[in-house]
């Protein structure tokens, strides 16, 4: 894995955050399909990665507070489970504009790493069974591969069963 070319303000905020933390990672670029129904599944298909190994970053409001849910692209986010894992009662998906404003990324390229401000985060527990995990590197067409423990540490996330399907 490499951290080359990401220190000193180069790269995306996600790659800079990983490099500055001394985390080993590999970047994977791919051609974005603008007509894809699912950015995550399209990324997995383009890179030849199983859907269960590439995770999407979703923002929800848990009791009115923005919270990050990170689940495999093969699944959907279980809002009730996310609310419970975040210590709340009710969750709903965040408005895409609010998600972009809070994270500094565009929908389809929201990374759990290097967000504008650190939000509470929960990663689906299935991540623990993987040797490496892929998440958005902060723009459409770029994924970052790292070990799950580093993803948990860099996001300050807890893990819980928050995926369904």
Domain for residue 19, yes or no? no
Q: How many domains does the chain have?
A: 1
Q: Where in the sequence is the domain holding 55, given as residue range(s)?
A: 30-164
- Per residue in 40-99, pLDDT (tens digit) is 999 999 999 999 999 999 999 999 999 999 999 999 999 999 999 999 999 999 999 999
Distance (Å, whole) CA 97 – CA 161: 27
Under 8 Å between Cβ of 75 and 164: yes
Establish if 8 belongs to a structural domain. Answer: no
- pLDDT higher than threshold 90 for residue 22: yes
Kindly state whether residue 72 falls inside one of the protein's structural domains: yes
* 105-163 per-position pLDDT tens digit: 999 899 999 999 999 999 999 999 999 999 999 999 999 999 999 999 999 999 999 99
In a domain, 13, yes or no: no
Mean pLDDT across 2-25: 77
pTM of the model: 0.92
Q: Is residue 126 part of a domain?
A: yes
Per the domain annotation, does 155 fall within a domain? yes
Per the model's pLDDT, the better-predicted residue between 37 and 134 turns out to be: 134
Q: Give the model's pLDDT for residue 5.
A: 40
- Tell the residue number behind the tokens 């993987």, with chain if given: 130
Q: What is the CATH number of the domain that holds 100?
A: 3.90.960.10
């Amino acid at each position: 894995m490499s951290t080359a070319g990401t220190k000193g303000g180069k790269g995306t905020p996600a790659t800079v955050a990983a490099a500055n933390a001394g985390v080993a990672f590999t970047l994977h670029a791919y051609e974005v399909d603008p007509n894809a129904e699912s950015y995550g599944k399209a990324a997995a298909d383009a890179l030849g990665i199983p859907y269960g190994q590439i995770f999407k970053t979703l923002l929800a409001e848990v009791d009115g507070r923005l919270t990050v849910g990170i689940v495999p692209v093969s699944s959907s986010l279980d809002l009730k489970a996310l609310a419970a894992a975040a210590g709340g009662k009710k969750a709903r998906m965040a408005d895409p504009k609010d998600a972009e404003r809070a994270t500094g990324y565009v929908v389809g390229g929201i990374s759990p790493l290097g967000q504008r401000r650190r939000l509470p985060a929960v990663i689906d527990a299935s991540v623990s069974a993987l040797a490496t995990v892929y998440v958005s590197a902060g723009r459409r067409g770029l994924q970052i591969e790292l070990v799950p423990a580093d993803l948990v540490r860099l996001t300050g996330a807890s893990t819980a069963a928050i995926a369904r399907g």
